[in-house]
A and B are shown apart, each in its own frame.
Chain A
């Protein structure tokens, strides 16, 4: 017996791709935030 699918394969593909990209964007966002935070805080003190 197979489980009924909530979404069609195409819709699943769209949702999954969006989620994957969102997770990657979050990872890159964290990196940019760290670099930006350190630069803004540090640079203002240095000047």
Chain B
């Protein structure tokens, strides 16, 4: 009798602790979601008035950013962000894809075990260190050593630094995508007499296409959102970028540089810059998620028989 009562008490206690843990987890999840929702609401509340005041077209399409005169045209910063992001992909995509192919397909297991953590370590380097190295080495090289001319602080410098910074993202996600391709695809291709490279380009890369595209888009997101390294090497001049060697200012840099002294409509315009950035980031992440989750093309069942 005593035994049964004790067991019942134990079961009741277990149920209670399950319920407590379940509620705590639900509370934690809701807290995270509601914090994000509150941040979004706050940014929208602060930024939307200035967009509607000036009109979205003027705000996004004007090239004049002069807060002291009440002019808030974001186009130079949008163009600067686009140029720097595109440049980062030009630098980072070939290197990243090549790195992923090497590590997933070509490297022996020992080399992979050694190289993959090293490349992942790149993601752990603080962005201010990248910016510091850009200022110390890259900017003087562009200004003097490379005979390219210009002030050195430029879209080119920012693109190269960002190109290096997006490498771990592109390599990491691409490796996952390449490793997810079934071994049988490779075996089938090799059995038909294709070389390893033909197998990679003709079979593995097309099968991993979705994951690789997602990697590139997430790399783009990383480049768009980067602030510190870009501020340190991009020059931050508010001007429409007419050359890759010209100084540019990105959306993130615009917020970081001016928020400390902004007030009134100026501060609202910076929040509106945040809204633009927020939309760009959400869109890129949404596209990456969709592409990554898209149904993969399956090999026909009778492929082996054919």
Contact = CB atoms under 8 A, between A and B. Distances in A.
Interface of A: 9-10, 12-13, 16-17, 19-24, 26-28, 30-31, 34-35, 37-38
Given A24-B115, A28-B115, A38-B129, A13 B98 contact: no
B102 A21 contact: yes
Given A34-B125, A34-B133, A38-B129, A27 B195 contact: no
Contacts of A9: 194-195, 197-198
Contacts of A27: 95-96, 99, 119, 122, 167, 171
B118 A28 contact: yes
B195 A30 contact: no
B196 A13 contact: yes
A10 B196 CA distance: 9
A35 B122 CA distance: 10
26 contacts: A9-B194, A9-B195, A13-B196, A13-B198, A17-B106, A19-B98, A20-B98, A20-B106, A21-B102, A22-B98, A23-B94, A23-B95, A23-B99, A24-B103, A26-B95, A27-B95, A27-B122, A30-B122, A30-B164, A31-B118, A31-B122, A31-B125, A35-B125, A37-B137, A38-B129, A38-B132
B121 interface: yes
Interface string B58-102: 000000000000000000000000000000000000111011011
B195 A10 contact: yes
B256 to A, nearest CB: 23
B134 to A, nearest CB: 10
A31 B121 contact: yes
B271 interface: no
A37 B133 contact: yes
B130 interface: yes
A31 B96 CA distance: 13
A20 B101 CA distance: 7
| Secondary structure class of chain A's binding surface, majority of residues | helix
Nearest to A14: B197
A26 B106 CA distance: 16
A41 to B, nearest CB: 8
B125 A24 contact: no
A10 B171 CA distance: 26
A17 B197 contact: yes
Given A20-B106, A30-B167, A31-B119, 5 more contacts: A9-B194, A17-B106, A27-B95, A30-B122, A37-B137
B178 to A, nearest CB: 12
Contact of A13 (B99, B137, B197): B197
B119 A28 contact: yes
A20 B122 CA distance: 19
Nearest to A21: B102
B98 A24 contact: yes
Interface string B95-117: 11011011100110000000100
Contact of B98 (A23, A30, A38): A23
A34 to B, nearest CB: 6
Contacts of A12: 195, 197-198
B96 to A, nearest CB: 8
